[in-house]
Chain A
Amino acid sequence: MKEEIIIAGFGGQGVLSMGKILAYSAIMQDLEVTWMPSYGPEMRGGTANVCVIISDKKISSPIITRYDTAIILNQQSLDKFEKSIKPGGLLIYDPSGITRAPERTDIKIYSIDAIEVAASIGNAKVYNMAVLGAYLKARPFLEMKNVVKGLEKSIPARYADVIPKNREAIEKGMEQAKLVLE
């Protein structure tokens, strides 16, 4: 298997850390990964994106321009990356950041109201984990135990007490992800 993913949104939404947790979870399942951020003169509130590749074979190019999955958290990113999803691919988006609905009809689409999930848990920082939950529901190839290990590896030891809330957000995200287009 090979899964080429882009995660895109505003800086501060946890785009890069979601990618890291996803990549670490895959390593815990003995898969190969690359995590390549777009970096530049970035600032808080500007756009941020990261490409994650997960494969059961050695990965050559970390640079990709067509995606099996796009995880989209704002309108700018939807405008930029919707057309680059491979036919038959997957789009996951948070409708609260979107003013124009996705137009593609040849892909599978899920929406996740991650702000609502984060609010119900009472911690805005777990927003990105709710989105990750939606992804794990749509692409169920990672075992939950490896995702938890990925979380533990990614979060610095001094913040270990937030791991249960992050896990809860992943599980609620899985429950509340809505299939928009099959």
Chain B
Amino acid sequence: MTEKILMKGNEAIAISAIRNGVDGYFGYPITPQSEVMETLMKEKPWETTGMVVLQAESELSSINMVYGGASCGKKVMTSSSSPGISLMCEGISYMAGAELPCVIVDVMRGGPGLGTIQPSQSDYSQSVKGGGHGDYHCIVIAPASPQDMYDYVDWGFELAFKYRNPVIILADGIIGQLMEKVELHPVKPRRTAEEILRDAPWATTGKPASRQRNIITSLSLDANTQEEFNRKLLAKYETIKENEVKFCEYHTEDAEYLFVAFGCSSRICEAATDILREEGIKAGLLRPVTLYPFPEKKIAGLAGQVKSMMSIELNLGQMVEDVRLAVNGRCPVGFYGRQGGNIYTPEEIVDEFKKFNNLK
């Protein structure tokens, strides 16, 4: 029987990193995700698996330590919350440019600026559209429970190495602080040197006579070379869009109205859907699990089925832009959000849904 442990989403990230053979974690404390490093420090994985856990002097340092570790083909990660992720954006852009795999956890809090420490989803655009400079995308996956936090660390590294691309686990203060039971899967050991050579033949692991030097860089001074590289990235992103879109559906099969929500908001919208269904209103919910790649085909398909959609987000309306692009005018798309760390209740969403759809 697998063991079920009551833990916070943040603790689940840390425990999962240790149990899934992560080689290194570099971070700097910030609410509401400080339990990630606290748990790692308490568990002392350097004494068991040999995993390195290091508190850097800043977020800039942590992301560049991740750059270094990833260059050597190691499974390395960091975590932070909104303002800390902003500081890391230069490093994330460099990693996208150098095609380095890593996992970055963002447990979002209210912004802009230092903002609040309460939950928010206002870094959707930052994570999905870029954040740093240049034409690049991170793969962005959005957990909705501590179990997801546990599972997505391993999934994140799988995607990161498959595509040589940074992966962001975009969580929020609720999912980070919420405790639920988490099922622990069997332990995966850290990769051996041979396994790293097999999985990351591009990595700087020491040059044998049999091959050319491996170079990790994001600099190219020749316009044509850079353009060729940009197009190679585009082809990679197209493959990711083709293969990796993931979403969850709740009562969509006969839905006349649709909520679109990710992370904690999807849980609250699930409860709102239940309330509406009890009243005989056929509501449904689509939860994008991958935010990049976005489930645009699924949403386009549902646009022909439902009377309207509503994007529910803890921000001023960010994902709703992608919903509207996918719907492309085929049905009305509404938005409701709360900001600053305030959280909507299922009843509040039901009221806003009825207002938008002119229902009593």
Query: A residues touching B (Cβ–Cβ < 8 Å)?
Result: 20, 23-24, 27, 32-37, 39-41, 59-65, 153-154
Contacts and interface: CB of A to CB of B under 8 A. Distances in A.
B268 A36 contact: no
Given A27-B6, A36-B174, A62 B267 contact: yes
Contact of B178 (A34, A153, A154): A34
Given A34-B179, A35-B180, A39-B32, A153 B6 contact: yes
B173 A39 contact: yes
Interface in B30-70: 31-32
A37 B177 contact: yes
What range describes how many residues of B lie at the interface? 20 to 34
B4 A27 contact: yes
A49 to B, nearest CB: 13
Nearest to A53: B180
Interface in B108-151: 117-118
A143 to B, nearest CB: 17
Contacts of B218: none
B309 to A, nearest CB: 19
A118 B117 CA distance: 35
A8 B264 CA distance: 23
A63 B270 contact: no
Contact of A60 (B117, B181, B274): B274
A61 B178 contact: no
B251 to A, nearest CB: 12
Interface in B170-200: 173-174, 177-181
Contacts of B347: 65
Given A41-B117, A62-B267, 10 more contacts: A32-B181, A36-B177, A39-B118, A39-B173, A60-B267, A61-B268, A61-B271, A61-B345, A61-B346, A63-B344
Contacts of B346: 60-61, 63
Contact of B117 (A24, A37, A39): A39
A7 to B, nearest CB: 13
A35 B344 CA distance: 17
A20 B6 contact: yes
A176 B173 CA distance: 38
Contact of A36 (B31, B178, B274): B178
Contacts of A36: 174, 177-179
A36 B175 CA distance: 9
Contacts of A37: 177
Nearest to B346: A61
Contacts of B264: 62-63
A59 B274 CA distance: 12
24 contacts: A20-B6, A23-B6, A23-B179, A27-B6, A27-B181, A33-B181, A35-B179, A37-B177, A39-B32, A39-B117, A39-B173, A59-B180, A60-B267, A60-B270, A60-B271, A60-B346, A61-B267, A62-B174, A62-B264, A62-B267, A63-B267, A63-B345, A63-B346, A154-B6
B343 interface: yes
* Residue from the set B173, B181, B267, B271 with the largest chain A CB neighbour count within 10 Å: B181
Contacts of A33: 6, 179-181
Contacts of A32: 181
Contact of B118 (A23, A27, A40): A40
Interface string B265-278: 00110110010000
A40 B340 CA distance: 12
B184 to A, nearest CB: 13
A23 B5 CA distance: 11
Contacts of A61: 267-268, 270-271, 345-346
Nearest to A61: B271
A62 B181 contact: no
B38 to A, nearest CB: 14
A64 B6 CA distance: 20
Contacts of B179: 20, 23, 33-36
A40 B343 CA distance: 14
B174 A63 contact: yes
